[in-house]
């Protein structure tokens, strides 16, 4: 009986007309969709014929690494002794740039609720993991293993610090541009 219903529906003129109308509507919708995507939408589909910016030949060449500047390392050590340990926060604020300060004022920074991970440190070990250390005349970064104080309950952890030179001439000085914990090589606990 079900076969007869399907067979009679397929042979019905009325059903075939609706099937033809439905097929025509699908075809028209497809043609419209193709026209809209290929012809009607010119925003962002073609490459800019007049690119902006300097020609590639004028781009800055890779800077050669230099020895890590002693003044930069001094600032890094002072910052690590002050900010992560929450000691001498005014000094840490002066050694940090706006990236590290996170928009905080000196008064807000002195509360100790700062965007620097808490980590009271007893020893700083410099290391190069996956060649991520670099030093250039105006910026430098170094990987560190920080050994925490015994009473902190923390484990030795890998960190990265980046310092940049701001100002020119006699006013030039180094500030911390980034400090944070890294995922890195497993470090044995002591």
Query: 45: which 2 tokens?
Result: 């589909």
What pLDDT score does 89 carry? 93
Report the number of distinct structural domains present in the chain: 2
What pLDDT score does 33 carry? 87
Query: Does any domain span residue 127?
Result: yes
pLDDT at 88 over 60: yes
Q: What is the pTM of this model?
A: 0.64
Residue % of the chain over a pLDDT of 70: 83
What is the average pLDDT across 72-87? 93
What pLDDT score does 43 carry? 59
Whether 76 and 53 share a structural domain: no
Whether 84 and 151 share a structural domain: yes
pLDDT at 45 over 60: no
Whether 126 and 51 share a structural domain: no
Q: For residues 100 and 42, which has the higher predicted lDDT (pLDDT)?
A: 100
- In this structure, what CATH number is given to the domain that contains residue 173? 3.10.450.50
Query: 184: which 2 tokens?
Result: 């890195």
Whether 171 and 84 share a structural domain: yes
Residue 175 pairs with which residues in a beta bridge?
164
Instruction: Tell me the residue range of the domain where 96 lies.
Output: 70-181
Distance CA 189, CA 97 (A): 33
For the chain, the average pLDDT equals 83
Residue where one domain finishes, among candidates 59, 82, 106 = 59
Whether 158 and 75 share a structural domain: yes
pLDDT at 76 over 90: yes
Nearest C-alpha neighbor of 97 from the set 172, 171, 164, 169 = 164
Which tens digit of pLDDT belongs to each residue from 115-128? 999 899 888 888 87
Whether 130 and 155 share a structural domain: yes
Residue where one domain finishes, among candidates 27, 59, 91 = 59
Whether 54 and 79 share a structural domain: no
Whether 26 and 79 share a structural domain: no
Q: For residues 59 and 176, which has the higher predicted lDDT (pLDDT)?
A: 176
Whether 86 and 154 share a structural domain: yes
């Amino acid at each position: 009986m079900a076969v007869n219903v399907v067979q009679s529906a397929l042979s019905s003129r009325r059903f075939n007309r609706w099937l033809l109308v439905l097929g025509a509507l699908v075809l028209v919708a497809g043609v419209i969709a193709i026209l809209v995507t290929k012809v009607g939408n010119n925003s962002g589909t073609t490459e800019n014929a007049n690119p902006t910016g300097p020609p590639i030949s004028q781009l800055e060449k890779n800077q050669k690494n230099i020895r890590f500047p002693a003044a930069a390392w001094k600032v890094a050590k002072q910052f690590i002794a002050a900010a992560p340990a929450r000691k001498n926060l005014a000094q840490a604020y002066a050694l940090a740039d706006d990236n590290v300060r996170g928009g905080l004022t000196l008064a807000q920074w002195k509360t100790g609720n700062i965007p620097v991970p808490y980590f009271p440190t007893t020893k700083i070990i410099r290391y190069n993991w996956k060649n991520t250390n670099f030093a250039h005349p105006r910026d430098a970064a170094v990987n560190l293993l920080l050994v925490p104080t015994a009473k902190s309950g923390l484990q030795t952890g890998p960190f990265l610090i980046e310092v940049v030179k701001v100002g020119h001439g006699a006013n030039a000085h180094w500030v911390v541009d980034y400090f944070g914990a890294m995922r890195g090589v497993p470090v044995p606990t002591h």
